[in-house]
Amino acid sequence: MAGVYISVDPVGALRQTRGEMEPDPVAAATFIQIAGAAGVAASLGTESSPIAERDLRLLRETVHTRLIITIPAAAELFGLAMDLRPDLCVLVSVHPLSMVPRSGIDLMVHHKELEDSLKALQNNGIRALIFIDPQPEQVKLALQAGADGVVLNTHSFSQGYRHGGSDEQVEQAFGQVVDAIKLAHRLKLRPWLAGGLGYNNLRAFAGLPEIEHLLIGHSVITQALYVGLHKAVGDMVTMANQL
């Protein structure tokens, strides 16, 4: 059974389109928790990010399950992350903050510098995970860097599944994720999944109890426009419980 963490970033992005105060990611987080999610996720970025510092501070006060902050691996943001003291941080590749990162951090390049970042967070009592592509060498380097776990990037699988990639392409992308899940589990790295997962493709991962948690945002918030946030989150939690 995998726990589901719901990102409120899409709620913040919708708010940005009108420059208004609503919809409020903090209010959405309340409904997400009531509906049974394991926790709430939000991104820490600059002023152009859909999630403002005000949101993050209120989330820290009001989230009574677990709060995850996704943070670009940029040193200038770590001070605020440690001040907020989330339950976990996920380090992601630096990217334009209006976009979801499509690729994981390349630990072949950034291995050494991330060691210090991970230690800084962990020394302040914050568990730290790394968002990586599902490749064996990346999983092994995450272990060497001292990560508490890995968030495996499922974007390639999700895109191929959603947009009609060939059976061979989808199967190859799926196989890479499964292999990375099993390797991370053997290395005691607590594998998470994130990247385009939703109601139409999540069942592909049934029968993989090694999956620790799921980090999902866009698909749930989109579904909530049709059926309401409580039902959208509840349906996702039910699906995750069946993995």
Share of the chain above pLDDT 90, in %: 74
Let me know how long the chain is.
243
CA dihedral defined by 58, 62, 229, 102, rounded to 10 degrees?
A: 60
Instruction: Collect all residues with Cβ–Cβ distance below 8 Å to 166 and sequence separation of at least 6.
Output: 160
Average pLDDT over residues 53-59: 95
Detail the DSSP E strand segments found in 86-154: 88-92, 127-132, 149-153
Instruction: Give yes or no for residue 99 having a pLDDT over 80.
Output: no
CB distance 140 to 184 below 8 Å: no
* pLDDT in the model for residue 116: 87
Identify the pLDDT of residue 1.
Answer: 66
Among 26-35, 77-86, 105-114, top mean pLDDT goes to: 26-35
For residue 167, what pLDDT is reported?
80
What single string gives the DSSP state of each residue in 186-207? Answer: HTT--EEEESS--TTTGGGGTT
Out of 3.20.20.70, 3.40.630.30, 3.10.20.600, 3.40.50.720, select the CATH number for domain 3-241: 3.20.20.70
Helices (H), 124-165: 136-145, 155-162
Distance CA 205, CA 176 (A): 12
Q: What's the pTM value of the predicted model, to 2 decimals?
A: 0.93
If we measure between CA atoms, which residue out of 12, 35, 102 comes closest to residue 239? 35
Whether 141 and 113 have beta carbons less than 8 Å apart is answered as no
Give CA–CA dist 231/229, Å, rounded: 6
Average pLDDT of the chain, as a whole number: 91
The tokens 């092994």 sit on which residue?
A: 140
Q: What are phi and psi of 200, to 5 degrees?
A: -85, -15
pLDDT band at 47 (very low <50, low <70, confident <90, very high): low
